[in-house]
Amino acid sequence: MNVKFRYLYLLLGAVGFVMLFYYFFQNLPDISNIDPIRILVIAVPDMLFFFLAYKTYPPEKESRPQGSYQHRKVSNY
């Protein structure tokens, strides 16, 4: 994935979650007024954007290469 889009994906996901919380607080006194389909329409793209932001992070490097001296078995006998 392209690293330059990481902050764009994070921003879009955060804006979507702000919209979701705003929708909850707008309908808070009457919980029966909350529409589950609208929640899914807001939450699924948010999860997609956060997943895309996760995919832009570089892979973790190994802490030690396999041939280094830390991996050799040392015996005192």
Residue 41's domain comprises: 3-55
> Nearest to residue 39, comparing CAs of 14, 21, 13, 15?
21
- Residue at 68 is within a domain: no
For the chain, percent of residues with pLDDT exceeding 90: 36
- Residue at 63 is within a domain: no
pLDDT in tens, 50-61: 999 999 887 777
Query: Mean pLDDT for the chain?
Result: 81
- Residue at 77 is within a domain: no
Predicted local confidence at residue 57, as pLDDT: 85
Cα–Cα separations (whole angstroms), residue 64 to 60, 61, 68, 71: 12, 9, 7, 8
Whether 76 shows a pLDDT value over 70: the answer reads no
- Residue at 19 is within a domain: yes
What's the Rg (C-alpha) of the chain? 23
Predicted local confidence at residue 66, as pLDDT: 58
- Residue at 7 is within a domain: yes
What confidence category does residue 62 fall into, taking pLDDT thresholds of 50, 70 and 90? low
Instruction: Domain count for the chain, please give it.
Output: 1
